[in-house]
Chain A
Amino acid sequence: EVQLVESGGGLVQPGRSLRLSCAASGFTFDDYAMHWVRQAPGKGLEWVSGISWNSGSIGYADSVKGRFTISRDNAKNSLYLQMNSLRAEDTALYYCAKAAELGYSNYPDYWGQGTLVTVSS
Protein backbone atom coordinates (compact mmCIF):
# COMPACT_ATOMS: atom_id res chain seq x y z
CA GLU A 1 0.00 0.00 0.00
CA VAL A 2 1.36 3.38 -1.01
CA GLN A 3 1.86 5.68 1.96
CA LEU A 4 3.01 9.28 1.86
CA VAL A 5 3.43 11.13 5.14
CA GLU A 6 4.21 14.84 5.11
CA SER A 7 5.76 16.76 7.98
CA GLY A 8 7.41 20.09 8.73
CA GLY A 9 4.46 22.43 8.43
CA GLY A 10 3.65 25.10 10.97
CA LEU A 11 3.27 28.80 11.67
CA VAL A 12 6.05 30.97 10.22
CA GLN A 13 6.53 34.71 9.85
CA PRO A 14 6.63 36.35 6.42
CA GLY A 15 10.11 36.31 4.94
CA ARG A 16 11.21 33.29 6.93
CA SER A 17 11.94 29.75 5.76
CA LEU A 18 10.46 26.30 6.28
CA ARG A 19 11.40 22.82 5.07
CA LEU A 20 8.77 20.21 4.36
CA SER A 21 9.46 16.50 4.24
CA CYS A 22 7.56 13.55 2.81
CA ALA A 23 8.30 9.98 3.85
CA ALA A 24 7.30 7.44 1.23
CA SER A 25 6.64 3.72 1.59
CA GLY A 26 4.82 0.89 -0.12
CA PHE A 27 6.42 1.37 -3.54
CA THR A 28 9.88 1.57 -5.11
CA PHE A 29 10.53 5.24 -4.50
CA ASP A 30 13.28 5.73 -7.09
CA ASP A 31 11.08 4.37 -9.88
CA TYR A 32 8.75 7.38 -9.77
CA ALA A 33 8.72 11.13 -10.02
CA MET A 34 7.19 13.10 -7.17
CA HIS A 35 5.16 16.30 -6.80
CA TRP A 36 4.22 18.93 -4.27
CA VAL A 37 0.70 20.32 -4.65
CA ARG A 38 -0.88 22.90 -2.35
CA GLN A 39 -4.38 24.00 -1.46
CA ALA A 40 -5.07 27.35 0.15
CA PRO A 41 -7.93 27.37 2.68
CA GLY A 42 -11.23 27.02 0.83
CA LYS A 43 -9.52 27.09 -2.56
CA GLY A 44 -8.58 24.66 -5.31
CA LEU A 45 -5.49 22.60 -6.01
CA GLU A 46 -2.30 24.30 -7.23
CA TRP A 47 0.73 22.39 -8.49
CA VAL A 48 3.87 23.70 -6.78
CA SER A 49 6.78 21.60 -8.01
CA GLY A 50 7.79 18.27 -9.51
CA ILE A 51 10.98 16.22 -9.61
CA SER A 52 11.91 13.26 -11.78
CA TRP A 53 12.98 9.90 -10.41
CA ASN A 54 16.70 10.76 -10.46
CA SER A 55 16.40 14.51 -9.77
CA GLY A 56 17.54 15.14 -13.32
CA SER A 57 14.45 17.12 -14.24
CA ILE A 58 12.75 19.63 -11.96
CA GLY A 59 9.95 22.13 -12.44
CA TYR A 60 8.28 24.88 -10.44
CA ALA A 61 5.12 26.91 -10.61
CA ASP A 62 5.78 30.53 -11.52
CA SER A 63 4.42 31.59 -8.12
CA VAL A 64 7.25 29.83 -6.24
CA LYS A 65 10.13 29.78 -8.72
CA GLY A 66 13.27 31.25 -7.18
CA ARG A 67 11.95 30.85 -3.63
CA PHE A 68 11.20 27.12 -3.30
CA THR A 69 13.55 24.19 -3.92
CA ILE A 70 12.41 20.61 -4.36
CA SER A 71 14.76 17.71 -3.69
CA ARG A 72 14.70 14.00 -2.97
CA ASP A 73 16.86 11.40 -1.26
CA ASN A 74 16.20 8.03 -2.86
CA ALA A 75 18.30 6.25 -0.23
CA LYS A 76 15.91 7.56 2.44
CA ASN A 77 12.70 7.30 0.37
CA SER A 78 12.10 10.96 1.10
CA LEU A 79 10.97 14.08 -0.74
CA TYR A 80 11.63 17.62 0.45
CA LEU A 81 10.50 21.17 -0.22
CA GLN A 82 12.68 24.03 1.00
CA MET A 83 10.56 27.15 1.16
CA ASN A 84 12.32 30.52 1.49
CA SER A 85 11.06 34.11 1.55
CA LEU A 86 7.61 32.91 2.55
CA ARG A 87 4.61 35.11 1.88
CA ALA A 88 1.09 35.21 3.27
CA GLU A 89 -0.18 33.81 -0.04
CA ASP A 90 1.90 30.66 0.52
CA THR A 91 -0.46 29.71 3.35
CA ALA A 92 -1.91 26.35 2.36
CA LEU A 93 -2.11 22.64 2.97
CA TYR A 94 0.86 21.12 1.16
CA TYR A 95 0.41 17.66 -0.33
CA CYS A 96 3.13 15.28 -1.37
CA ALA A 97 2.06 13.18 -4.34
CA LYS A 98 3.56 10.25 -6.20
CA ALA A 99 3.65 10.52 -9.98
CA ALA A 100 2.45 7.70 -12.20
CA GLU A 101 5.85 7.21 -13.87
CA LEU A 102 9.49 8.35 -13.96
CA GLY A 103 9.12 11.91 -15.16
CA TYR A 104 7.33 14.78 -13.45
CA SER A 105 5.23 15.30 -16.57
CA ASN A 106 3.24 12.36 -15.27
CA TYR A 107 0.12 12.94 -13.24
CA PRO A 108 -0.11 12.43 -9.49
CA ASP A 109 -1.72 9.10 -8.70
CA TYR A 110 -1.37 8.88 -4.92
CA TRP A 111 -1.49 11.68 -2.39
CA GLY A 112 -0.50 12.14 1.24
CA GLN A 113 -2.76 13.76 3.81
CA GLY A 114 -0.90 17.06 3.70
CA THR A 115 0.92 19.36 6.11
CA LEU A 116 -0.39 22.84 6.89
CA VAL A 117 1.80 25.89 6.39
CA THR A 118 0.60 29.19 7.81
CA VAL A 119 2.52 32.35 7.01
CA SER A 120 1.56 35.15 9.36
CA SER A 121 3.12 37.70 11.64
Chain B
Amino acid sequence: SYVLTQPPSVSVAPGQTARITCGGNNIGSKSVHWYQQKPGQAPVLVVYDDSDRPSGIPERFSGSNSGNTATLTISRVEAGDEADYYCQVWDSSSDHQVFGGGTKLTVL
Protein backbone atom coordinates (compact mmCIF):
# COMPACT_ATOMS: atom_id res chain seq x y z
CA SER B 1 0.00 0.00 0.00
CA TYR B 2 1.03 3.60 -0.55
CA VAL B 3 2.99 5.23 2.28
CA LEU B 4 3.24 8.93 3.13
CA THR B 5 6.15 9.99 5.32
CA GLN B 6 6.12 13.18 7.42
CA PRO B 7 8.63 14.44 9.98
CA PRO B 8 7.24 13.97 13.49
CA SER B 9 7.93 17.56 14.46
CA VAL B 10 8.87 20.96 13.10
CA SER B 11 9.70 24.00 15.20
CA VAL B 12 9.73 27.62 14.08
CA ALA B 13 9.88 31.06 15.67
CA PRO B 14 6.95 33.46 15.29
CA GLY B 15 7.10 35.43 12.08
CA GLN B 16 9.30 32.88 10.35
CA THR B 17 8.38 30.36 7.67
CA ALA B 18 7.50 26.74 8.46
CA ARG B 19 7.85 24.01 5.86
CA ILE B 20 6.29 20.62 6.46
CA THR B 21 7.16 17.87 4.03
CA CYS B 22 5.25 14.80 2.92
CA GLY B 23 7.20 12.12 1.11
CA GLY B 24 5.80 9.42 -1.15
CA ASN B 25 6.78 7.46 -4.22
CA ASN B 26 6.14 9.76 -7.20
CA ILE B 27 3.76 11.81 -5.08
CA GLY B 28 4.03 14.55 -7.69
CA SER B 29 1.64 12.53 -9.85
CA LYS B 30 -1.05 12.65 -7.17
CA SER B 31 -3.18 15.41 -5.69
CA VAL B 32 -2.15 16.17 -2.12
CA HIS B 33 -4.37 17.63 0.56
CA TRP B 34 -3.38 19.07 3.94
CA TYR B 35 -5.25 19.21 7.24
CA GLN B 36 -4.64 21.18 10.41
CA GLN B 37 -5.72 19.64 13.72
CA LYS B 38 -5.52 21.61 16.94
CA PRO B 39 -5.73 19.79 20.30
CA GLY B 40 -9.23 18.52 21.05
CA GLN B 41 -10.58 19.65 17.69
CA ALA B 42 -11.53 18.01 14.42
CA PRO B 43 -9.21 18.33 11.42
CA VAL B 44 -9.64 21.33 9.14
CA LEU B 45 -8.72 21.33 5.45
CA VAL B 46 -6.10 24.03 4.81
CA VAL B 47 -4.82 23.11 1.32
CA TYR B 48 -6.36 20.91 -1.36
CA ASP B 49 -5.21 19.73 -4.77
CA ASP B 50 -1.57 20.48 -3.95
CA SER B 51 -1.85 24.25 -3.67
CA ASP B 52 -5.44 25.52 -3.48
CA ARG B 53 -6.87 27.08 -0.33
CA PRO B 54 -10.45 26.68 0.90
CA SER B 55 -12.29 29.89 1.61
CA GLY B 56 -11.39 31.31 4.99
CA ILE B 57 -7.86 29.89 5.05
CA PRO B 58 -5.23 32.64 5.21
CA GLU B 59 -2.94 33.22 2.23
CA ARG B 60 -0.06 32.42 4.58
CA PHE B 61 -0.83 28.74 3.93
CA SER B 62 0.45 27.41 0.61
CA GLY B 63 1.39 24.09 -0.89
CA SER B 64 3.57 22.57 -3.58
CA ASN B 65 4.11 19.10 -4.96
CA SER B 66 6.80 17.68 -7.19
CA GLY B 67 8.74 14.48 -7.59
CA ASN B 68 8.69 12.51 -4.36
CA THR B 69 7.88 15.37 -1.99
CA ALA B 70 4.91 17.61 -1.27
CA THR B 71 5.35 20.61 0.99
CA LEU B 72 3.02 22.69 3.11
CA THR B 73 4.46 26.16 3.69
CA ILE B 74 3.20 28.46 6.40
CA SER B 75 4.54 32.01 6.10
CA ARG B 76 4.71 34.53 8.95
CA VAL B 77 3.92 31.83 11.47
CA GLU B 78 1.69 32.78 14.39
CA ALA B 79 1.18 31.16 17.78
CA GLY B 80 -2.27 30.09 16.62
CA ASP B 81 -0.74 27.93 13.88
CA GLU B 82 0.59 25.50 16.47
CA ALA B 83 -1.11 22.22 15.61
CA ASP B 84 -0.70 18.79 14.04
CA TYR B 85 -0.63 18.78 10.24
CA TYR B 86 -1.50 15.79 8.06
CA CYS B 87 -1.01 15.23 4.35
CA GLN B 88 -3.40 12.96 2.46
CA VAL B 89 -3.75 11.41 -1.00
CA TRP B 90 -5.95 8.99 -2.87
CA ASP B 91 -4.18 5.74 -3.72
CA SER B 92 -5.81 4.46 -6.91
CA SER B 93 -3.87 1.20 -6.72
CA SER B 94 -5.65 0.15 -3.55
CA ASP B 95 -8.74 2.39 -3.75
CA HIS B 96 -7.84 3.76 -0.33
CA GLN B 97 -7.50 7.22 1.11
CA VAL B 98 -4.06 7.50 2.74
CA PHE B 99 -2.89 9.86 5.48
CA GLY B 100 0.62 10.73 6.48
CA GLY B 101 1.66 10.12 10.07
CA GLY B 102 1.31 13.79 10.98
CA THR B 103 3.71 16.57 11.94
CA LYS B 104 3.50 18.54 15.15
CA LEU B 105 4.25 22.19 14.49
CA THR B 106 5.66 23.99 17.52
CA VAL B 107 5.87 27.77 17.57
CA LEU B 108 8.81 28.71 19.77
Contacts and interface: CB of A to CB of B under 8 A. Distances in A.
Interface of A: 35, 37, 44-47, 50, 59, 61-62, 95, 100, 104-114
Contacts of B42: 95, 111-114
Given A37-B97, A45-B43, A47-B96, 10 more contacts: A44-B101, A44-B102, A45-B86, A45-B88, A45-B102, A62-B96, A107-B33, A107-B48, A107-B97, A113-B41
A100 B48 contact: yes
Contacts of A108: 43, 45, 88, 97
Contacts of B43: 45, 95, 108, 111
Nearest to A96: B42
Q: How large is the interface on B (under 10, 10 to 19, 20 to 34, 35 or more residues)?
A: 20 to 34
Nearest to A4: B42
A105 B44 CA distance: 18
Contacts of B54: 109
Interface in B43-101: 43-45, 48, 54, 84, 86, 88, 90, 92, 95-101
Count chain B CB atoms within 10 A of each CB in A45, A61, A100, A110 and give the residue with the most.
A45
Contacts of B100: 44
30 contacts: A35-B97, A37-B99, A44-B86, A44-B99, A44-B100, A44-B101, A44-B102, A45-B35, A45-B43, A45-B86, A45-B99, A47-B98, A50-B97, A61-B96, A62-B1, A62-B96, A95-B42, A95-B43, A100-B48, A105-B90, A107-B31, A107-B45, A108-B45, A108-B97, A109-B48, A110-B45, A111-B43, A111-B44, A113-B41, A113-B42
